[in-house]
Amino acid sequence: MIVAGLQTDIAWEDPRENFRRVDAMAEALLQGPPESAPRPHLLVLPEMFATGFSMEAEKVAAFARETRTFLAGLARQHSVFVLGGYGEPHRPRPANACSIFDPRGREVLHYRKLHPFSLAGEHEHYTPGDSLATTEVEGVRVTPLICYDLRFPEPFRVTAPSTDLFCVIANWPDKRREHWSLLLRARAVENQAYVLGVNRVGAGGGEPHSGDSALLNPLGQAAADAPAEGAAGVLVGMVDPAMVSQVREQFTFLKDRQPDLYRRLAEARGSAGP
């Protein structure tokens, strides 16, 4: 499967302008001559691509229906799968979510961010999710996670056996960019899976973003050329589930895990006190 990450410069809380920018990027990518580049099967957009990572939760959640309609239309128009993130109405507070739409514009996956970014007060404005989701795209098993989720290895481990490609969509700021690149590579190596990180560029909420979008293979090696630093652009690469199987068969690290032992150790430490 060929996947494309659209590293966009998000206009702050301006869905119409962001739709226009994504439309233009998708058109340039998908309507060019066939020989110019391989045609992607899956387009991946950043976290809250229509508004930016705004703490005006109710305001951005009001655009959810319009954003979902745009994503479905983009998928139908170009006959591709599309993954994009947005704020959506939820209770007790809105949720930071994403969806995958198939080439007919049907939603085939919905996921809510498990870990609100408490350092920015996201937990005070958005309700966390409580489940993980995986779907198959052109024979590739895809599991999305959102930004701050990247810092937590547990959801990756839980879904690794049923995942070939993790898609991490983000608004990850420039000041922690080294962590972004390091953690993307770590998640690929430790789970022996492809990891696609799609970040934004530009200033959002006063924070500069360098992008650094990347596709890593199951050995943690770069599998695509990154867009220019700090510039809007597209990353295109190949995801081969056969490589996931091959790496896992050659290096049986996942089979050597001992989840029951880890649970017992955690319980013992919890009961032992300080």
Q: Quote the pLDDT of residue 274.
A: 45
User: 219: phi > 0 → left, psi -120 to 50 → alpha, else beta; which?
Assistant: alpha
Q: Which is catalytic among the residues 13, 88, 98, 113? A: 113
**Residue 171: closest CA among 212, 199, 207:** 199
The string of pLDDT tens digits covering residues 134-150 is: 999 999 999 999 999 99
The pLDDT tens digits along the chain (274 residues) read: 999 999 999 999 999 999 999 999 999 999 866 565 679 999 999 999 999 999 999 999 999 999 999 999 999 999 999 999 999 999 999 999 999 999 999 999 999 999 999 999 999 999 999 999 999 999 999 999 999 999 999 999 999 999 999 999 999 999 999 999 999 999 999 999 999 999 999 998 889 999 999 999 999 999 999 899 999 999 999 999 999 999 999 999 999 999 999 999 999 988 654 4
**Of 12, 65, 72, 14, whose CA–CA distance to 43 is shortest?**
72
Active site residue 147: yes
Give the pLDDT confidence score for residue 204 in this predicted structure.
Answer: 87
88, 98, 147, 167: the catalytic one is 147
Q: Which of 47, 88, 98, 122 is catalytic?
A: 47
The pLDDT score that the predictor gives to residue 24 is 97
How far is Cα 147 from Cα 258, in angstroms, rounded to an integer? 28
The string of pLDDT tens digits covering residues 53-97 is 999 999 999 999 999 999 999 999 999 999 999 999 999 999 999
| Predicted local distance difference test score (pLDDT) of residue 272 | 52
**Domains of the chain by start residue, with CATH:** 2-241 (3.60.110.10)
- The pLDDT value recorded for residue 205 is 85
Determine whether 229 is an active site residue. Answer: no
154 is catalytic: no
CB 15 within 8 A of CB 69: no
Integer-rounded Cα radius of gyration of the chain: 18
Nearest 5°: phi and psi at 236? -125, 130
